[in-house]
Amino acid sequence: MRVMILGGDGYLGWPTAMAFRQAGHEVQAIDNYLRRKIAQETQSDALVPNPLLPERAAVFERVTGGKIEVAIGDCCDFTFLSGELQKFSPDVIVHYAEQPSAPYSMMGYDEASATLSNNLTATFNVIWAVLKHAPACHIIKLGTMGEYGTPNIDIEEGWIEIHHKGRSDKFLFPRQAGSLYHTTKVLDTDLLWFYVRTHGLRVTDLMQGPVYGLSTDEADLDQQLSPNFHYDDIFGTVVNRFLVQAAVDVPLTVYGRGGQTRGYLNLRDTLQCVALAAANPPAAGELRILNQFTETFTVNQLAERVQRVGRKMGLRVDVQNVDNPRKEKEEHYYRPVHHGLLELGLKPRLMSDDVVAAMLGQVLRHRNRIVVERILPRVRWR
């Protein structure tokens, strides 16, 4: 297949580009370095500097012999994106090209406006570029489990049957996102569903939980091919934050009571999920929604796991509850369905103690670069 990766410089985008190329597909990676720019502006740089996208592609080609085409440009520029689609003529577009930070989207008006404008314009442009140049192309858009919120009922896989006053119909599962970033992802889904119904696009919307991990088959070939590892409060996930805190003897900061439950998955499983979605496209006129995670944890459970593993490795790892900077339920019902990807063949890699130890070992090799002030919450929802 000819696979176009939008946001190809990102934590998920770069490993996805490498994995598709290694699998024998033709790959183009597009990025405008928005994430790097925001990280620099907010003093949230990655733990280890990563080469720019053309340099990464050159290292990958030297190590593997596989060429990844690179285009630097903004997906919010329709002329640019439309021109790239016309030239590359993709069979599959993997759309990661969005501002991915919930805390950043809640910092203030400018950050909220930038998130709203970037994320919706990028998705809108993808839709119209596909309609214009590649109407049979399969769009795989990265959604988020955060779209659903934490309802007091089971979370179905994207859709729900409603029985009301003697009649029934099928609707998108109700969304109640907890940040503006997550709300833009809800609006993405609505935009895609409108154009699927109207123009017969084929779309897979992957509702992904938080991803952890630094290791993939391709990234392990050379240090310069590693994905971006952010540990700060803007771009870093709770798993990354706990690993870094354990490495520098800072108590693991649990927000509030720590009962917040989410679905997590290994970076390697993200690559597996996207590949399975691409190899099994939906029909034209179908919006397929897949809940993309492998297991659920509370924040307390994650802290306990990192603490246990860290202490086995000779580290002093304490846990501390701090005031929650976010507006969210700290204890809640959470039971999401996730059978679609398993039915397509997903073989999950679960978060064992060995997996945590391997990640912690990687962090320890770079602990002299850790800036403790970036770990603690700098953004409050209210």
Q: Which CATH number do you get for residue 303?
A: 3.40.50.720
> Is residue 379 domain-resident?
no
Catalytic residue flag (residue 237): no
Q: What pLDDT sits at residue 7?
A: 98
> Is residue 243 domain-resident?
yes
Q: What pLDDT sits at residue 217?
A: 97
Indicate if the pLDDT at residue 169 is higher than 90.
yes
Domain that holds residue 57: 2-374
How many structural domains does the chain have? 1
Mean pLDDT in residue range 50-73:
98
> Is residue 341 domain-resident?
yes
> Is residue 382 domain-resident?
no
Indicate if the pLDDT at residue 71 is higher than 90.
yes
Question: Would you say 90 and 2 are in contact if contact means Cβ atoms under 8 Å apart?
Answer: yes
User: Which residues have a Cβ under 8 Å from the Cβ of 347 and sit 6 or more positions away?
Assistant: 272
Mean pLDDT in residue range 267-281:
98
Catalytic residue flag (residue 212): no
Q: What pLDDT sits at residue 263?
A: 98
Q: Which of 181, 212, 264, 334 is labelled catalytic?
A: 181
- pTM: predicted TM-score of the whole model, two decimal places: 0.97
Q: What pLDDT sits at residue 279?
A: 98
Q: What pLDDT sits at residue 146?
A: 97
Structure tokens at 101: 């930070």
> Is residue 85 domain-resident?
yes
> Is residue 60 domain-resident?
yes
Burial tier of 147 (Cβ tally within 10 Å: 0-12, 13-18, 19+): buried
Q: Which of 148, 185, 189, 216 is labelled catalytic?
A: 185
Name the average pLDDT for the chain: 97
Q: What pLDDT sits at residue 382?
A: 84
Q: What pLDDT sits at residue 120?
A: 98
Tens digits of residue pLDDT in 19-54: 999 999 999 999 999 999 999 999 999 999 999 999
Catalytic residue flag (residue 185): yes
User: Which residues have a Cβ under 8 Å from the Cβ of 108 and sit 6 or more positions away?
Assistant: none
Question: Would you say 356 and 217 are in contact if contact means Cβ atoms under 8 Å apart?
Answer: no
> Is residue 55 domain-resident?
yes
Q: Which of 42, 115, 123, 144 is labelled catalytic?
A: 144
Tens digits of residue pLDDT in 102-112: 999 999 999 99
Is residue 100 very low, low, confident or very high in pLDDT (cuts 50, 70, 90)? Answer: very high
> Is residue 380 domain-resident?
no
